């Protein structure tokens, strides 16, 4: 019997090994379970279906459309936008939607990883400028918008200004549909200023006086941090444009690759001076990035802040009531009136995967979906969460946040000048600019070293 | 004939592991090695550059800065994770009552997400609103207050502290299990022969747990070489590269600067450092043991 039980054991072992191999094969096969596919660092959420690891293609008779976006999570626009997505999904049972939501800047990384893996979503939101779009254009991954517009039932070129289109222009062709515009605005806590008998500063000297009083009372004068260049890169451009040829030089960067200009040097020196004068929080890294920067202002630990529409929904209502929009003071040596312009551009556009568009089974569904995203209905709804639509359209003021209306009114007559990201053509160079801004704001590098370092990165990219 | 039959039979059992290992370890490493020989932005066609990326790495001051940062992290990990982990485990092994409670409490940070730990510490370190500076004030240690994340002298240590702290519990638990396997008779007979606590530890306990000690050292070093989460959440490796490590620098190079080839070269250097260290360390330990 011993040899029989040994034989039985061997057979059982063979069966077990075969089962393990079969299980392994099943586990490694392409399936719709869980989060296979794109290796994004942040969690993916979805209004309904789980993200699919497969790219283009249909499942059965249904068309599958993968849409990636970043108005999700803590973004105030999320609930409005994702609510609309759910509605559209419910109305189109013939389409299997895979919504891939990745918050904030991580969405940019997700799209890059997807692109590298040959797994670009069918349609996705993305940022402006050659630094973001040129690699996708060079690889022939994204659709030229004229092709979409020729098929669209509702979206017309004339609904957007030439300036809005220009942010998605690569080599004379447009590769994104402008979606979200933005304009910066400076906010001041009226009650804090009144408490210490201070006036809103108009000059740098007044700013330093105001700063001294606030610092003596444990209040940060101006909440501006820098973590991976957020949000300092926008403020830095604002400072640079106060100086002679600041904006003109920025516009020429795609041709000249010249970041080291008189205006940029002066802006860097202004940042160092402001840090020395205690204008910023003492820890610009810990207070860097959008959330921590606004948090200081929301908690009334900072008197002023530089904000943008995507943060409007995060400003506490009681703080909105105490907030006035002001002009930033003119810096010493500046020639441009700081009240005459604001930093602004089109922040995000809608891009379409060229291969997906050329799939006859998907084309109409993609066109219809893109039309839906750009409809007045959706943009008007998302405006409640702070979206400034890039499309020229009327918004119902009664549905908008009071701060939104204030910001629109305050900036309506200002020139809208895009920040440097719109012009820098190389992603590595721009990455150096952003990380070096952290060093400049933290006082790790001198203004001269900041400019020299960033210029070297651009020279390398030439 | 029987041998061949047995070989096939046994091979069948290791085959799943071999397949998994090949697919998820060997293949990606081979692909990375291939990418490291190219200039590639992840989107357009690759350009073969041979060892050009490695030559660039050698001359890249930023790379060596993050290598130095990683070296510091390894040193602190060995001291505070392995060293302190061993000391705490040794003490815990002697606790009669409640040692399971202490073991559980020490292990809790290990199971928390590194992102959550990083976020918690980034709030902790905020010199304007965070509790750390307030705590120092309340302890009359105001002179110790710093801008923890914006001070070049403190930012690296501030980023290293949470990741070192988080995994001390892991080493405590590993060492505790090993120490508990040491035969009690050996320790008793050492005591009866007049050996003091430290002599007992170094001459009786350590030789018994020597293999486990080696594994923990290798874990600490390779874990430090892969360090990413805490630095990314707290400072994104900044300001500049002040709090960046090789793995984080690799990520930024590949996926933010769109230099997949150059980033892959950094990945291969991580692999090389880990392999070199493991080989040398095992050889040294074998000689020491002999």
Q: What is the CATH number of the domain that holds B204?
A: 1.10.3720.10
Give the angle subtended at the CA of A38 by the CAs of A35 and A39, to the nearest 5°.
90
Say if the Cβ atoms of B239 and A282 lie within 8 Å. no
Chain B residues close to A20, C-beta within 8 Å: 16
Structure tokens at B61: 């001051």
Domain contains A129? yes
Instruction: Please indicate if any CB of chain A lies within 8 Å of the CB of B275.
Output: no
Counted across chains A and B, CB pairs separated by less than 8 A come out at 129
Which H helix or E strand runs over A341?
strand A341-352
Using one digit for the tens of pLDDT, what is the confidence trace for A160-184? 999 999 999 999 999 999 999 999 9
Chain A residues close to B156, C-beta within 8 Å: none
Residue A282 to chain B, least CA–CA distance (Å): 6
What integer is the mean pLDDT of A40-55?
A: 37
Tell whether A222 and A350 lie within a shared domain: no
The whole domain housing B105 covers 61-289
Q: Which of B70, B79, B4 is nearest to B244 (CA)?
A: B70
| pLDDT at residue A146, rounded to an integer | 96
ipTM of the assembly? 0.87
Domain contains A130? yes
Task: Indicate if the pLDDT at residue A44 is higher than 50.
Answer: no
Domain contains B53? no
Domain contains A82? yes
Structure tokens at A330: 């003119």
| pLDDT at residue B98, rounded to an integer | 84
> Best interface-test mutation with A: which of B52, B128, B148, B233 has the largest number of A CBs within 10 A?
B128
Domain contains A316? no
Average model confidence (pLDDT) across chain A: 89
Q: Which of A270, A253, A286 is nearest to A433 (CA)?
A: A253
Chain A residues close to B34, C-beta within 8 Å: none
Tell whether A173 and A193 lie within a shared domain: no
3-state secondary structure B49-102: CCCHHHHHHHHCHHHHHHHHHHHHHHHHHHHHHHHHHHHHHHHHHCCCCCHHHH
| Ordered DSSP codes for B215-271 | HHHHHHHHHHHT--HHHHHHTTT-STTTT--HHHHHHIIIIIS--HHHHHHHHHHHH
Q: Virtual CA dihedral for A108, A110, A116, A122, nearest 10 degrees?
A: -90
Q: How confident is the model at residue B94 (pLDDT cuts 50, 70, 90)?
A: confident
| pLDDT at residue A53, rounded to an integer | 38
- Of chain A residues 230-249, which have a CB less than 8 A from chain B? none
Residue A154 to chain B, least CA–CA distance (Å): 32
Instruction: Please indicate if any CB of chain B lies within 8 Å of the CB of A26.
Output: no
Contact (CB, 8 A) for A431 and B257? yes
Tell whether A120 and A231 lie within a shared domain: no
Tell whether A241 and A299 lie within a shared domain: yes
> Best interface-test mutation with A: which of B39, B256, B267 has the largest number of A CBs within 10 A?
B256
Cα–Cα distances (Å) from A440 to A250, B131, B239, B277, in that order, read 19, 26, 8, 37
- Of chain B residues 172-211, which have a CB less than 8 A from chain A? none
Tell whether A156 and A76 lie within a shared domain: yes
Instruction: Please indicate if any CB of chain A lies within 8 Å of the CB of B133.
Output: no
Chain A residues close to B148, C-beta within 8 Å: 283, 286
Tell whether A285 and A434 lie within a shared domain: yes
Say if the Cβ atoms of A285 and B128 lie within 8 Å. no
Instruction: Please indicate if any CB of chain A lies within 8 Å of the CB of B241.
Output: yes
CA B46 – CA B36 distance, rounded (Å) = 11
Q: How far apart are the first and last CA of chain B?
A: 40
Domain contains B29? no
Say if the Cβ atoms of B9 and A20 lie within 8 Å. no
Using one digit for the tens of pLDDT, what is the confidence trace for A212-236? 999 999 999 999 999 999 999 999 9
Using one digit for the tens of pLDDT, what is the confidence trace for B152-171? 999 999 999 999 999 999 99
Q: How confident is the model at residue A19 (pLDDT cuts 50, 70, 90)?
A: low
Tell whether A101 and A177 lie within a shared domain: yes
Tell whether A127 and A264 lie within a shared domain: no
Domain contains B28? no
Chain B residues close to A286, C-beta within 8 Å: 122, 125-128, 130, 147-150
Say if the Cβ atoms of B125 and A438 lie within 8 Å. no
Domain contains B38? no
| pLDDT at residue B210, rounded to an integer | 93
Q: How confident is the model at residue B228 (pLDDT cuts 50, 70, 90)?
A: very high
Chain B residues close to A233, C-beta within 8 Å: none
Tell whether A90 and A127 lie within a shared domain: yes
Residue B114 to chain A, least CA–CA distance (Å): 13
Of the residues A399, A415, A440, the one at which a domain ends: A399
| Closest CB from B20, B148, B238 relative to A228 | B238
Residue A92 to chain B, least CA–CA distance (Å): 33
Contact (CB, 8 A) for A48 and A99? yes
Using one digit for the tens of pLDDT, what is the confidence trace for B10-29? 888 899 999 999 999 999 99
Percent of chain B whose predicted confidence (pLDDT) is above 90: 80
Using one digit for the tens of pLDDT, what is the confidence trace for B234-279? 999 989 999 999 999 999 999 999 999 999 999 999 999 999 999 9
Q: Which of B195, B209, B217 is nearest to B90 (CA)?
A: B209
CA A281 – CA A443 distance, rounded (Å) = 12
Q: How confident is the model at residue A4 (pLDDT cuts 50, 70, 90)?
A: low
Helix (H, G, I), strand (E, B), or coil: what is residue A160? coil
CA A260 – CA A331 distance, rounded (Å) = 19
Tell whether A292 and A380 lie within a shared domain: no
Chain B residues close to A220, C-beta within 8 Å: 128
CA A373 – CA A367 distance, rounded (Å) = 10
Of residues B287 and A16, more confidence is placed in: B287
Contact (CB, 8 A) for B156 and B125? no
Residue of A nearest to B20 (CA): A24
Chain B residues close to A21, C-beta within 8 Å: 12, 15-16, 19
Contact (CB, 8 A) for A391 and A422? no
| Closest CB from A18, A116, A436 relative to B42 | A116
Tell whether A149 and A87 lie within a shared domain: yes
Task: Indicate if the pLDDT at residue A15 is higher than 90.
Answer: no
Domain contains A319? no
The whole domain housing A207 covers 185-307+426-461
Task: Indicate if the pLDDT at residue A14 is higher than 90.
Answer: no
Q: Virtual CA dihedral for A222, A228, A233, A236, nearest 10 degrees?
A: 60
Q: Which of B238, B137, B223 is nearest to B174 (CA)?
A: B223
Domain count along chain A: 2
Domain contains B228? yes
| Ordered DSSP codes for B172-201 | HHHHHHHHHTS-HHHHHHHHHTT--HHHHI
Residue of B nearest to A11 (CA): B9
> Best interface-test mutation with B: which of A16, A115, A135, A286 has the largest number of B CBs within 10 A?
A286
Distance of CA A254 to the CA centre of its chain: 21
Domain count along chain B: 1
CA atoms within 13 A on the CB side of A311: 22
Domain contains B70? yes
| pLDDT at residue A29, rounded to an integer | 47
Domain contains A1? no
Tell whether A443 and A302 lie within a shared domain: yes
CA A211 – CA A406 distance, rounded (Å) = 25
CATH number, position A433: 3.40.190.10
């Amino acid at each position: 019997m011993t040899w029989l039980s040994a034989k039985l054991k061997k057979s059982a072992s063979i069966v077990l090994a075969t089962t393990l191999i079969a299980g392994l094969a099943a586990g490694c096969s392409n399936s719709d379970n869980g989060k296979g596919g794109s290796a994004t660092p942040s969690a993916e959420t979805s209004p309904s279906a789980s993200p699919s690891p497969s790219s283009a293609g249909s499942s059965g008779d249904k068309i599958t459309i993968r849409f990636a976006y970043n108005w999700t999570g803590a973004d105030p626009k999320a609930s409005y936008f994702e609510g609309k997505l759910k509605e559209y999904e419910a109305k189109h049972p013939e389409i299997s939607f895979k919504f891939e939501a990745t918050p904030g800047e991580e969405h940019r990384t997700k799209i890059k990883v997807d692109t590298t893996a040959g797994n670009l979503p069918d349609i996705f939101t993305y940022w402006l400028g050659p630094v973001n779009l040129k690699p996708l254009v060079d690889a022939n991954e994204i659709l030229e918008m004229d092709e979409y517009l020729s098929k669209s039932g509702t979206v017309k070129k004339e609904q957007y200004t030439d300036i809005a289109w220009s942010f998605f222009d690569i080599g004379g062709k447009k590769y994104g549909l402008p979606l979200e515009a933005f304009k910066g605005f400076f906010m001041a806590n009226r009650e804090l200023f009144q408490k210490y008998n201070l006036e809103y500063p108009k000059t740098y000297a007044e700013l330093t006086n105001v700063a001294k009083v606030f610092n003596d009372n444990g209040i940060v004068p101006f909440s501006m941090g820098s973590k991976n260049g957020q949000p300092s890169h926008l403020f830095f451009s604002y400072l640079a444009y106060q100086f002679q040829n600041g904006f003109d030089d920025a516009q020429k960067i795609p041709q000249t690759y010249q970041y080291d200009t008189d205006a940029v040097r002066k802006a860097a020196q202004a940042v160092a001076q402001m840090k020395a004068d205690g204008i910023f929080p003492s820890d610009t890294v810990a207070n860097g990035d959008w959330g921590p920067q606004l948090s200081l202002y929301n908690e009334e630990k900072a008197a002023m802040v530089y904000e943008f529409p995507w943060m409007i929904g995060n400003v506490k209502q009681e703080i909105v009531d105490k907030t006035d929009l002001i002009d930033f003071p003119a810096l010493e040596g500046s020639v441009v009136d700081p009240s005459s312009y604001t930093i602004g551009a089109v922040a995000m556009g809608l891009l379409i995967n060229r291969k997906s568009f050329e799939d006859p089974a998907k084309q109409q569904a993609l066109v219809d979906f893109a039309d839906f995203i750009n409809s007045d209905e959706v943009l008007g709804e998302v405006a409640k969460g702070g979206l400034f639509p890039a499309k020229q359209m009327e918004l119902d003021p009664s549905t908008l946040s009071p701060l939104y209306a204030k910001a629109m009114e305050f900036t309506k007559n200002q020139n809208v000048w895009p920040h440097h990201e719109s012009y820098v053509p190389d992603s590595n160079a721009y990455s150096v600019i952003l990380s070096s801004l952290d060093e400049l704001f933290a006082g790790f590098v001198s203004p001269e070293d900041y400019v020299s370092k960033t210029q070297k990165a651009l020279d390398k990219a030439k | 004939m029987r041998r061949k039959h047995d070989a096939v039979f046994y091979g069948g059992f290791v085959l799943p592991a071999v397949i998994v290992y090949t697919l998820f370890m060997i293949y990606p490493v081979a692909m990375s090695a291939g990418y490291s020989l190219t200039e590639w932005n992840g989107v357009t066609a690759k350009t073969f550059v041979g060892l050009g990326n490695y030559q660039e790495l050698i001359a890249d001051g930023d790379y060596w800065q993050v290598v130095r940062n990683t070296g510091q992290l390894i040193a602190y990990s060995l001291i505070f994770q392995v060293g302190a982990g061993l000391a705490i485990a040794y003490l815990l092994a002697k606790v009669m009552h409640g040692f399971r409670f202490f073991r559980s409490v020490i292990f809790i940070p290990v199971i928390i997400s590194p992102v959550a730990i990083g976020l918690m510490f980034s709030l902790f370190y905020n010199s304007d609103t965070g509790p750390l500076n307030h705590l120092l004030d309340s302890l009359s240690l105001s002179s110790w207050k710093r801008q923890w994340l914006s001070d070049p002298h403190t930012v690296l240590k501030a980023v290293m502290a949470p990741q070192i702290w988080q995994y001390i519990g892991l080493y405590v638990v590993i060492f505790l299990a090993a120490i508990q396997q040491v035969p009690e008779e050996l320790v008793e007979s050492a005591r009866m022969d007049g050996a003091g606590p430290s002599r007992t530890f170094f001459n009786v306990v350590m030789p018994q747990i020597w293999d486990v000690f080696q594994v923990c050292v290798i874990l600490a070093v390779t874990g430090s070489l892969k360090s990413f989460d805490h630095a990314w959440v707290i400072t994104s490796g900044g300001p500049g590269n002040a709090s960046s490590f090789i793995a984080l620098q690799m990520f930024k190079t590949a996926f933010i600067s769109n230099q997949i080839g150059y980033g892959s070269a950094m990945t291969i250097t991580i692999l090389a450092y880990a392999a070199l260290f493991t080989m040398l360390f095992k050889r040294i330990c074998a000689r020491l043991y002999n």
